[in-house]
Structure 1
């Protein structure tokens, strides 16, 4: 694991102007994964787009954490269905 792949939660919160408690709540809901390295909390850089999406949903659209959780599950279901449709189309060409 390269250290550059991990971004300190405190840096994210400062950059996005959000509370650390919001990020902790996202972790409690299982929406993001926070990793402890020594005494600090970090998020993997691959998860930043998801964090940004959650920030927009919560702060811009005033959607609570329960709503964000439901939206995330529905989006995952839609993506899975789209994948299945593409697979079926490849098996049964027109």
Structure 2
């Protein structure tokens, strides 16, 4: 685990102007994984794109945490179905 691959929640809170409880709620429902590195709560940088989407949904569209969970689960199902469709098409050719 390389420390440079992680971003602190404090930094994200100040950058995106959200409360720490927003990230805690996302962690509780399983949308993000918060890790503690040297007593500091962090998120892997690979999740930043998803976090930005969640913040935009929450701020711009007033979607609550449960709604964000539903949207991300549906997006994952769509992606899985698209991958399955590609696999089936590849078998046909």
TM-score of the two chains, using structure 1 as the length reference: 0.95
Distance in 2 (alpha carbons) for counterparts of 1:38 and 1:53 = 28
Where has structure 1 moved over 2 Å in runs of 4 or more?
none
Per-residue deviation, 1:38: 2.4
**1:3 counterpart = 2:25:** no
Match of 1:26 in 2: 26
Matches within 5 A, 1:73-84: 73-84=73-84
Gap runs ≥5 in structure 1: none
Distance in 2 (alpha carbons) for counterparts of 1:78 and 1:47 = 19
Match of 2:87 in 1: 87
Per-residue deviation, 1:48: 0.6
Per-residue deviation, 1:2: 1.7
Distance in 2 (alpha carbons) for counterparts of 1:37 and 1:10 = 13
| RMSD (Å), alpha carbons | 0.7
